[in-house]
Structure 1
Amino acid sequence: MSVQAVAWDIDGTLVDSEPLHQEALMAVVATHGVDLSDLLPDAFVGVSLPDVWKVVGSRFPADMRFEDCDRMVCDHYRANMHRLTATPNVDRVMRILHERGIAQIAVSNSNRDVVDTNLRAIGVADLIDFSVSLDDVPVGKPDPAPYRLGAARLGLPAERILAVEDSATGLASARAAGMKSVLYCPDGRACGPADHLITEMIAILDMLDADS
């Protein structure tokens, strides 16, 4: 089998978290009277909070620091983690891969607090070898640093790892790191170049069976 490990993106891939991320950001924005009406609704999908801050930070009051924004966003997110739901069939797929002995990691553009919250909320923390958060790397996706760190910690060549993503930002990171890529896109509309496009998570099993 050429694929020896699967590297999962988390937000939007393992868990339907983008609405809660957006809600948490908008709650902080509203608290401080910041206007984002000139930006597209999906402007920050797959974008790390530090990169969001680079765009909107200057719109906050002068005494507002990134660390304050980060804490408030994370507090809102964690307080509402009970509303997070796993992507359909992802638990089943991950458990089958675990039984087959295929290594699994999670590679996220979120900070450690959010990563751990997500994995705990959907009950898959015991199925992965480790997770890579934004706090673990000098720069996040679309830079290849997160996926390169994942490959290094696994001790595997990047080409033996299948990265599963849902955004152009994540795809760019995985492909730049040299990994095979899968775009999970339920509506079938590609958002970036990938080696494979799937509309249902269960299709990963067929893909790996064909690869064996």
Structure 2
Amino acid sequence: MNLTLPAGPFRAYLFDCDGTLVDSMPLHYTAWSETLAEWGCAFPEDLFYAWGGRPVTEIIAALNDQHGLAMPVDEVGRVKEERYGQLLPKLTAIADVVAHVEEAYGRIPIAVVSGSTRDSVTASLGALGLLDRFDTLVCAGDYAKAKPDPEAFLLGARLLGVPAEECLVFEDTDMGIAAATAAGMASVRVPPPWERRP
């Protein structure tokens, strides 16, 4: 997989985490499936990927609405995150994206802007030895409106001290690309797992 970057120059890079820096989406789906099975709640894989970038609490609330369930949002979210943590030894990086992190490190400011919790992001990046590469992390709970709203990316740019129009976003989801566009930022699309693998 080769990522084609839009014409620059860019003064900062903003990276989504799950499915962009780390090949975590299959592991997250396993954690979701095992957790939701206890509640008799179906979560088809295509819907999981369509909802990529949504915070955990938002996903559980939406599934409750969709299935007429009353799953306790905080408890189910905690169990799901614990299950994901148990799968971390299987986590791998997305090498072509990490190459851009390494190229930018020390040259321009770089941040992670994620819909996942800070605990999940730091666990994923820490497991792969990438946590120290980033100047700042923007995670669920740091902003009020999730992607596709631009708030998270605009916060990331502000924390890095770089105007939005001079930032390049790396993203794997439609919602993330829409959020970057709404923030006035250029973006590069990271293909999903089934397109990256031969």
Larger Rg: 1
* 1:32 and 1:60 in contact (8 A); partners too: no
Paired residue for 2:123, among 110, 117, 125?
117
Structure 2 unaligned blocks of 5 or more: 1-7
CA offsets 1:169-189 (integer angstroms, 9 cap, x no match) = 100111111111111226898
Residue in 1 that maps onto 2:138 = 132
Deviation of 1:104 (Å): 0.7
Aligned to 1:70: 77
Residue 36 of structure 2: SS of its match in structure 1? helix
- Answer whether contact 1:34 1:60 (CA < 8 A) is retained: no
Per-residue CA deviations over 1:151-199 (Å, capped at 9, x if unaligned) read 111111101110011110100111111111111226898xxxxxxxxx7
So what's the TM-score if we normalise by structure 2?
0.85
Which residue identity is paired with 1:143?
Answer: D
User: Aligned to 2:105, what secondary structure does the other structure show?
Assistant: helix
Give the match's secondary structure for 1:181. Answer: strand
Structure 2 match to 1:175: 181
Q: CA deviation at 1:79?
A: 1.5
| In structure 1, C-alpha distance between the alignment counterparts of 2:178 and 2:15, rounded to whole Å | 14
Match of 2:52?
A: 45
Counterparts of 2:131 and 2:104, CA distance in 1: 14
Matched with 2:36 is 29
Paired position in structure 2 for 1:149: 155
User: Which among 94, 104, 118 is matched to residue 97 of structure 1?
Assistant: 104
Which residue in the other structure is 1:196 paired with? none
Q: Determine the C-alpha separation between the residues in 1 that align with 2:138 and 2:148.
A: 14
Question: For residues 2-27 of structure 1, what are the alpha-carbon distances to aligned partners after superposition, in whole Å with 9 as ceiling and x for unaligned?
Answer: 31110001111101111111111111
Number of residue equivalences: 188
Question: What does 1:178-189 correspond to in 2, within 5 Å?
Answer: 178-185=184-191
Q: Taking structure 1 as the reference length, what is the TM-score of the superposition?
A: 0.80
* CA drift at 1:33: 2.1
Other-structure match for 2:17: 10
Q: Tell me the residue number matched to 2:61.
A: 54
Change (3 A) 1:33 1:176: same
Percentage identity across paired residues of the two chains: 35
Gaps of 5+ in 1: 190-198, 200-212
Matched to 1:124, the amino acid is L
Please give the root-mean-square deviation of Cα atoms over the aligned residues, in Å: 2.4
Distance 1:178 1:38 in 2: 31
